[in-house]
Homo-oligomer: A and B are copies of this chain.
Amino acid sequence: MIAEKMKPYVKNNSAIRMMFEEGNRLRGIYGAENVFDFSLGNPSVPAPDCVRQAIIELVNDTEPTVLHGYMSNAGFEDVRQAIADSLNRRFGTAFAAKNLIMTVGAASGLNVALKTILNPGEEVIVFAPYFLEYGAYVKNYDGKLVEISPDTATFQPNLQEFEEKITPNTRAVIVNTPHNPTGVVYSEETIKKLAAIMEAKQKEYGTVIYLISDEPYRELAYDGVQVPYLTKYYDNTIVGYSYSKSLSLPGERIGYLVIPDEADGSQEMITAAAIANRTIGSVNAPSLIQKVIAKCVDAEVDVAAYDKNRLALYNGLKDLGFECIKPEGAFYLFVKSPVADEKEFCEAGKKYNILMVPGSSFACPGYVRLAYCVSYDTIINSLPQFAKLAKEFEIA
């Protein structure tokens, strides 16, 4: 009875979500403290108290018909201005309120961006490993997803293959840095090379190729690493941001798009994006939380807690003999499976109550993703279990 296009999704219902159910099952049997669930990117660090305070102030001090009312499809102008000001302060950009469109999280923002620019059959390039939902978003507009194979030595984008796969039909490129699932941050050098390739291809083909920067993990960076702001390197950049991780508000569905003046057709795109926000059914980003963002625009979650987890898990697994690139951002470790079929490894992990997501769920088999947005205790207590798993696979 369902649409043909939905059938494959129902059949392969997201592996991550199925893992979530498995986690609940194991917790029911063994107790939550004895299950080491590294499967879901649900922030473990609470929202900063600024959020709670802002919510209470807003509901006590703001006229409810305004606080909970409709506004422009692009969002409250004061909220967009506050975010633009913050970005300009931090990154030396020159955005105005009009360059921002508040969205129902980054997932909705990416949909708005793709609906705004993508014609059926046009290509969108992604770098493996990547968040598989990109494929669903591109299909929503009948676009064609083009994958670049992973550079498993560094997990920086494979720029040679990228250059070869750009065609006159390439409409957009999605990058995600800090990166899910590897934790890699694309270096400034990488960004410059990527931008140069795209500039050259635009010239060669006489086309416009948008760079869509999906950056929900921007604020989660460690060891003082810098996360380049992409609009400064490539004019045709659209930024998709989310507060899901930076303020630990994933359930609230709040984020924004930036469409800078430098982007080709910027004015028309801004108008179209606000309309797309409406017609995909979001209408506008949730109103109360928009106002909260304006009050907490420079607030931060406790990134040090994630960093502590990162080092404990990374060092712990390295000591056990696992292979893994050291993440500089986000809250994921992308660990090499000791056997080619990483699903076998994931299955084995369940015997020790360890839940991991197979790399195949990110178009990168042979690896597993561990989300370390869990309690520090979970990490420490998981290490003896990982030791058993290492022993089973005769590692080290």
User: Which residues of A are interface residues toward B (Cβ below 8 A)?
Assistant: 1-6, 9-10, 13-14, 17, 40, 42-47, 51-52, 55-56, 59-60, 63-65, 67-73, 104-105, 107-112, 115-119, 133, 136-137, 140-141, 208, 248-253, 263-265, 268-269, 271-272, 275-276, 278-289
Contacts and interface: CB of A to CB of B under 8 A. Distances in A.
3 nearest A-B pairs in the assembled complex, by CB-CB distance: A1-B265, A251-B287, A108-B281
A251 B286 contact: yes
22 contacts: A1-B117, A1-B269, A3-B116, A3-B117, A13-B275, A17-B72, A43-B65, A47-B68, A55-B59, A64-B248, A67-B251, A68-B248, A70-B251, A104-B253, A104-B281, A104-B282, A105-B282, A107-B282, A109-B281, A137-B281, A253-B282, A288-B289
Contacts of A252: 68, 286-288
A52 B73 contact: no
Contacts of A68: 47, 51, 248-252
Contacts of A60: 52, 56
B2 A269 contact: yes
Contact of A283 (B10, B70, B107, B276): B107
Contact of A44 (B65, B109, B133): B65
Contacts of A70: 40, 42, 250-251
A133 B73 CA distance: 14
A145 to B, nearest CB: 13
B279 A281 contact: no
Nearest to A142: B142
Contacts of A111: 280-281
Contacts of A269: 1-2
Given A64-B248, A141-B3, A133 B278 contact: yes
Contacts of A249: 68
Contacts of A64: 46-47, 51-52, 248
A276 B263 CA distance: 31
B116 A282 contact: no
A253 B284 contact: yes
Given A1-B264, A252-B288, A272-B2, A137 B279 contact: yes
A375 to B, nearest CB: 10
A117 to B, nearest CB: 6
Nearest to A48: B64
Contacts of A69: 42-43, 248, 250-251
Counting chain B CB atoms within 10 Å of each CB, which of A68, A117, A137, A208 scores highest? A68
Nearest to A53: B59
Contacts of A4: 119
Contacts of A109: 281
A164 to B, nearest CB: 25
A33 B286 CA distance: 28
Nearest to A279: B136
A116 B282 CA distance: 17
A280 B108 CA distance: 7
A6 B251 contact: no
A77 B207 CA distance: 48
A286 B289 CA distance: 9
Given A46-B65, A68-B47, A70-B42, A283 B2 contact: no
A163 B281 CA distance: 29
Contacts of A17: 72-73
A372 to B, nearest CB: 15
